[in-house]
Amino acid sequence: MITSIKRVVRSGFIGFWRNAFVSLSAIFVITVTLTVVGGTMLISQLLDVTLTQIQDKVDINVYMHVSASEEAIQELKSSLEKLPDVREVVYTSREDALAQFRDYHKNDELTIRSLEALDDNPLGAALSIRAKETSQYENIATFLEEHRDLESPDAPLIDRINFGQNKEAINKLTKIIDTVERSTYIAMIILISASVLIAFNTIRLAIYTAKEEISVMRLVGASNMFIRGPFVLQGVMYGLLSGVLTLLILYPVVLWLGPSTEAFFGFNIFNYFVSDFAHMFFVLVGSGIVLGVASSTFAVARYLRV
C-alpha cells in the first residue's frame, strides 16, 4: 500500500513538471480567484467596521411633548425594546436635553439669554432608537407612527419623529451594503467557475498527453487508484501552490495599505491580516485544494474511463 502511494505521488509530481506550462496556467487562474476571495474577506472586514461606525451614527429620534408624563414615555420605551428589530433605546430626560442644548449653544450668547428668559424648560424628553440592521428602521418608524395615531388628543405623547429626515441617508446606506455584497458574490462565482473550468481543461490535457502511458498501465493491470491518483494529486498541487502564492501576494499589499486604512477608517487591515492569518491560511489554501481536487475529479471521471 505504501509503495503504491509513493508511486502515485511520484507520478503526480512527474506529470506536474512535465506539463509545467499548462500547470502554471491553472495555478495562475486559481491564484487570481483566491486573491479575489482573500481580498473579499479583507474588504468585508473593513466594510463591517465602517458600516458599524456609520450605523452607530444612524438612528431614529423621537421627541416627546413637553406635557408627556414620565410613565407614558417609559412605557413606550419598553414597547420599543421588545421589538425584534431594535438594538438599543436611549432615553434623554427633559433636564438632560436642556443641559445638552446649553452645552451645544454655549458660544451663542443670544440663544442662552433667550433660554434664560423663559420661566420653564421648553424642551421635551426624547428617545434615540438604533436598529440591528439599517433595513429595519422603516418597520420601527411605522410602529411609532401607528402608536402616535392611537394617542389620545387630550394626552399627546409623541411630538415629532425625525425618521423622514434620515430616511434618505438610511436607504442609501442600505443600498450600498446590498450592492457591495451582491457584486462581491457575483464576482466570486464567476471566477470560481473560470478556475474550475481552466483546471478541468488542464487535467484533461494532461490525460491526453499521457494517453499512451495510461494504455500501457491498463495492459499491465495497473489499479484504478494508480492511474487516477496522479491526476488528482496534480489538482491538489494546483490548489496548494495557488493558496500559498495568494498569501504571498496579499501580505505586501495589506502591509502597504495598513497605515492608510487605520488613518481613514480607524482599522488597520495589516494587523487584522496578521492576527487572523491562521483563518486566512485555512480558507485560502483549503479553497484552492478543493477547487483543484474538484476540477481534477471531474476531468478524470469524464475523460479517464478505467
CATH of the domain at 107: 3.30.70.3040
- Residues 144-150 have a mean pLDDT of 86
Last residue of a domain, one of 163, 191, 211: 163
Same-domain status, 43 and 177: yes
Give pLDDT, residue 222: 59
- Domains in the chain, number: 2
pTM: 0.61
Tell me the C-alpha distance between 27 and 232, whole Å: 15
162-170 average pLDDT score: 67
Q: Is residue 186 part of a domain?
A: yes
Region of poorest pLDDT, from 15-19, 145-149, 159-163, 206-210: 206-210
Asked if residue 147 is part of any domain, the answer here is: yes
Biggest alpha carbon–alpha carbon distance for the chain: 107
Mean pLDDT: which of 96-105, 189-198, 215-224, 267-276 is highest?
Answer: 267-276
Cell of 116: 434664560
Q: Which of 98, 129, 163 is the last residue of a domain?
A: 163
Report if residue 16 sits inside a domain.
yes
Q: Which residue has the cell 464576482?
A: 187
Dig out the grid coordinates for 112 from the structure. 442662552
pLDDT at 248 > cutoff 90: yes
- For residue 126, pLDDT beyond 80: yes
Q: Residue with C-alpha cell 485560502?
A: 284
Which residues constitute the domain of residue 115? 59-163
Residue 211 scores a pLDDT above 60: yes
Shared domain for 218 and 285, answered yes or no, is: yes
261-305 confidence digits (pLDDT tens):
888 877 888 888 888 889 889 988 888 888 777 777 776 666 555
Cell of 239: 490548489
CA distance 179 to 133: 15
20-74 per-position pLDDT tens digit: 777 787 788 788 888 888 888 888 788 777 767 766 667 788 888 888 888 888 9
Check whether residue 114 and residue 229 sit in a common domain. no
3-state SS string for 51-108: HHHHHHHCCEEEEECCCCCHHHHHHHHHHHHCCCCEEEEEEECHHHHHHHHHHHCCCC
Q: Would 205 be classed as within a structural domain? A: yes
Does residue 109 surpass a pLDDT of 90? Answer: no
DSSP 8-class letter at 132: S
168, part of any domain: no
Same domain, yes or no: 22 and 80: no
Residues 192 and 72 in one domain: no
Q: Mean of the pLDDT values across residues 255-263?
A: 87
Residue 159 CB-half CA count within 13 A: 14
Last residue of a domain, one of 107, 130, 163: 163
| Whole-number pLDDT of residue 167 | 64
High-pLDDT (> 90) share of the chain, %: 5
| 267 assigned to some structural domain | yes
Give the pLDDT of residue 252: 92
The confidence band for 3, taking pLDDT boundaries of 50, 70 and 90, is low
Q: Is the pLDDT of residue 124 over 60?
A: yes
Average of per-residue pLDDT values in the chain? 78
The top-scoring range by mean pLDDT among 203-207, 211-215, 241-245, 290-294 is 241-245
pLDDT of amino acid 69: 85
Query: Which of 10-24, 86-100, 147-161, 245-259 is least confident?
Result: 10-24
pLDDT score, position 213: 63
What spatial distance separates the first Cα and last Cα of the chain, rounded to whole Å?
20
pLDDT band at 247 (very low <50, low <70, confident <90, very high): very high
What 3-state class would DSSP assign to 26? Answer: helix
* pLDDT, greater one: 165 or 276: 276
Q: How far apart are CA 77 and CA 123, in angstroms?
A: 18
